[in-house]
Amino acid sequence: MELEYFDDGSSFFAVAPFSIDPATLTDFSLFERYPARNGIFRFRCLLTNTKLVAVERLKKMLGTWDTLYIHNAEAQDYKAYLRENLEFILNNDAISISKKTSILVNLSTDAIKETFAASFVPRSKIRETVENLEKFVSRALDFLSSIESLKGIAAMIGHDYDTHTHSVKVGWLCAVFIKANPDLFGNPGREQLRQLLLQATVAGCLHDLGKVKIPENVINKPGRLDNLEYVLMQSHPAFAIALLYEKELPDETLQAILYHHENEDGSGYPCGLAGDEIPLPAKICHIADVFDALTSARPYKQEKTPAEALKIMAGKNPYLDTLKIFEAEAAKNAHPPVTTIVRDEYDPKLRRLKERHIIEEVAAKRVDARVKLQDQGMSHCFDAELLKRFIVTLSKSDSFDLSGLL
């Protein structure tokens, strides 16, 4: 690294000095920035070799700087440092929840992206990346499972839906919920509870892993899925288990991933389990999954507020029988029950094309109706007591105003 740079600022990124643990600082260079002249900043190197500075001296130096800068060329070294010192950062009261959340989400998203990408490489690579994710989650577990951390989740509500960020939030919500409701698991001891939290958080982070096996045009479709696409999407829990099977994850983790779309009344997928047949971690993952999906913006669907989402989740659907007909249609990839005759077209080929077009229009309307009917109430999908506890857990944070639901 050079000792001095003149740059428009694009070659550097800012870091907070108090996010750096002077006891473990590795060899990446720290710079200060001088005011711009004609759009060009002067960056002066403050530290090049931290091993030459005593820890106490370094601590005092860090306390005198408001903002430090790191060159983009050393970004990966800094990220590695953050991963190794995540516990220090997340437990540091001098760092705001918003800053902790930003660091946590960026690092965890990287870890999840690495795991999702591993589906295209040998299984040994999947094992390695899942183990990396487990290590990351373990370091962040105390923060992830605290009620205080809900402020971080609340700040992310309403953002555009992204598979990787969604997975982070689902794992995070599972951790907070289980930590706040240990009696559901028989009030386990400290170490056993930590293992439960680790398993549930990893399951939440990996619950959508199987989507890497779904065609990209389906995953990234800007509109609603048709029946065939819906059936393809329903295969993602099974695909995830196929990818993870040889990793030898705990049964609770695999069950949460496989069954996170099972409904309390047996109308879910992939196995149509109901009630007590659905493992508890899977029920919790399901609630967290739907809550985050409803509160995330989609190209075809506006995001809900937390209160609106939970009202939908707890509401009894007055059109449940009709919804189940549409769901059965989708599961069978069946054409809608419609008969049409085009009387003004004498060419047989054109007549069949017009009839097919009419049938497809009706099918699209029924897909649209299916999605809208889901928003009329989803209480049949969830364990009522668990959902109530989920609402109570979120309400413990001042960041969620759910008083009207309690």
pLDDT (tens digit per residue) in 303-331:
999 999 999 999 999 999 999 988 888 88
CA distance linking residue 269 with residue 283, whole number of Å: 13
For the segment 206-223, the average pLDDT, to the nearest whole number, is: 90
CA distance linking residue 47 with residue 27, whole number of Å: 9
Q: pLDDT value at position 43?
A: 95
User: Could you tell me whether strands 40-47 and 4-7 are parallel, antiparallel, or unpaired per DSSP bridges?
Assistant: antiparallel
* Whether 327 contacts 266, CB under 8 Å: no
Higher-confidence residue: 29 or 170? 170
Q: pLDDT value at position 72?
A: 94
For the segment 223-248, the average pLDDT, to the nearest whole number, is: 89
Please name the residues in contact with 155: beta carbons below 8 A apart, sequence gap of 6 or more. Answer: 97, 98, 101, 399
Structural domain boundaries in the chain: 1-78, 85-316+377-405, 323-372
Residue 92's alpha-carbon distances to 85, 87, 89, 139, 197, in angstroms, are 11, 8, 5, 14, 21
- Give 3-state DSSP helix, strand, coil % of the chain, rounded to 5: 60, 10, 30
Residue 405 has pLDDT above 80, yes or no: no
pLDDT in tens, 48-84: 766 677 778 777 887 788 889 999 999 888 888 888 8
Higher-confidence residue: 168 or 50? 168
Q: pLDDT value at position 50?
A: 63
Q: pLDDT value at position 26?
A: 67
Q: pLDDT value at position 317?
A: 94
CA distance linking residue 216 with residue 190, whole number of Å: 42
Considering the entire predicted model, what is its pTM? 0.85
* Percent of the chain topping pLDDT 90: 51
For the segment 209-217, the average pLDDT, to the nearest whole number, is: 91
Lowest mean pLDDT among 133-142, 157-166, 306-315, 361-370: 361-370
Confidence of residue 121 (pLDDT cuts 50, 70, 90): low
Q: pLDDT value at position 308?
A: 94
Residue 199 has pLDDT above 90, yes or no: yes
Pick one of 1.10.3210.10, 1.10.10.10, 1.20.1250.20, 3.90.180.10 as the CATH number of 85-316+377-405. 1.10.3210.10
pLDDT in tens, 252-286: 999 999 999 999 999 999 999 999 999 999 999 99
The average confidence (pLDDT) of the chain is 89
Confidence of residue 392 (pLDDT cuts 50, 70, 90): very high
